[in-house]
Amino acid sequence: MKTIAFIGLGNMGSPMAENLIKSGLALQVFDLNREAVKRLQPLGAKVADSVEEVVQGADTVITMLPAGVHVRAVYLGDHSGAVGLLNLVKPGTFLIDSSTIDPESARIVAEQATNKQLDFVDAPVSGGVAGAQAGTLTFIVGGTDTAFKQARQVLQHMGKNIFHAGKAGDGQMAKICNNLMLGILMSGTCEALNLGIDNGLDPEVLSNIMLQSSGRNWALELYNPCPGVMENVPASHDYKPGFMSQLMQKDLGLGIDAALKSQSSIPMGSLARNLYAYHNANGNQERDFSSLFEFYRSRG
Ligand code: NAD
């Protein structure tokens, strides 16, 4: 049986790991936060106390971490003297990073992995916590053709659509473009719903109208930001994440970094990042990103 080491069991990593266990794969898990792994232990996951321990005997490593700085530290080591997993895994171990990070970090890790004759792919995801739970995530993979084929064997247990975006780092670039659009669409959805409510419309009626009209989009269809309109979304549970608002700000920042390099204009994405920066500075960073709706509702 294949043994998988899974590092980063947060909002996304935990349900993804659960689906791997359900598929009959042996799982070893590690997270800096001991609480994060608790749900997985009774399901049969072996809990490790360190990166060094979790990769022992693993054939595949999957990471699901917040940002590039965490991914570089886990794979390459850091200034505290922690050894990166590229120096800890057995020869032939296959490496998958599903975090959303800057393409440059993904390329650096891929290059260092290649230097050690290890295959690495960046495989960020789309679909949110609901998609992670249902095993219907979209994976956007960057890496060689061979590595992509190998990645698909593992990713199919957690997702439905698995795309090959291109070479190392290209999965991250495609994911950044997607989240730039998501940040803009979520802001626009909050704005339109708030305008309707302010002018006497029922948000549920308005949502249904826009869902059958040209304003239809993913946020409106699956992630309505107005409390009470949809049952199983963060908005109806006090904006419990979900996808933390600070992570959306990070992703929009990644879009801005990329645009600076390519000299692209991204006025809408820049505005959305500023809205999230303001919203997060007001204490909403750990709430779901759809809580931006409250920014529009507040009349402070
Ligand atoms: P999260 O903050 O809930 O989980 C991240 C986990 O990583 C935490 O449990 C944290 O303790 C752990 N961690 C951090 N540094 C670590 C280290 N050095 N060693 C071990 N564990 C460490 O975040 P999340 O919502 O699960 O998102 C993870 C990634 O997926 C992010 O890059 C995010 O942008 C992306 N993403 C999230 C969603 C979503 O809906 N939440 C959707 C798509 C993509």
pLDDT at 38: 83
pLDDT at 190: 98
Q: Bridge-partner residues for 7, per DSSP?
A: 30, 63
Atom of ligand 1 nearest to the CA of 13: 26
pLDDT at 61: 98
pLDDT at 283: 97
pLDDT at 2: 87
- The one catalytic residue in 175, 240, 250, 261 is 175
pLDDT at 245: 98
- For ligand 1, pick from 140, 180, 247 the residue to mutate: most ligand atoms within 8 Å of CB: 247
Ligand 1: centre distance to CA 292 (Å): 20
pLDDT at 267: 98
Ligand 1: centre distance to CA 247 (Å): 9
Q: What are the φ/ψ torsions at residue 84 (nearest 5 degrees)?
A: -70, 155
Ligand 1 contact, 9 CB (< 6 A): yes
Longest dimension (CA), the chain: 64
Domains, in order of start, for the chain: 3-166 (3.40.50.720), 173-297 (1.10.1040.10)
Contacts of 119 (CB under 8 A, 6+ apart): 94, 95, 113, 143, 144, 146, 147, 150
Ligand 1 contact, 33 CB (< 6 A): yes
Contacts of 154 (CB under 8 A, 6+ apart): 2, 4, 20, 60, 62, 94, 96
pLDDT 10s per residue in the chain (300 long)?
789 999 999 999 999 999 999 999 999 999 999 999 988 999 999 999 999 999 999 999 999 999 999 999 999 999 888 899 999 999 999 999 999 999 999 999 999 999 999 999 999 999 999 999 999 999 999 999 999 999 999 999 999 999 999 999 999 999 999 999 999 999 999 999 999 999 999 999 999 999 999 999 999 999 999 999 999 999 999 999 899 999 999 999 999 999 999 999 999 999 999 999 999 999 999 999 999 999 999 865
Ligand 1 contact, 292 CB (< 6 A): no
Ligand 1 contact, 11 CB (< 6 A): yes
Q: Are 97 and 71 in contact (CB under 8 A)?
A: yes
pLDDT at 225: 98
Pairing of strands 94-97, 125-126: unpaired
pLDDT at 260: 98
175 labelled catalytic = yes
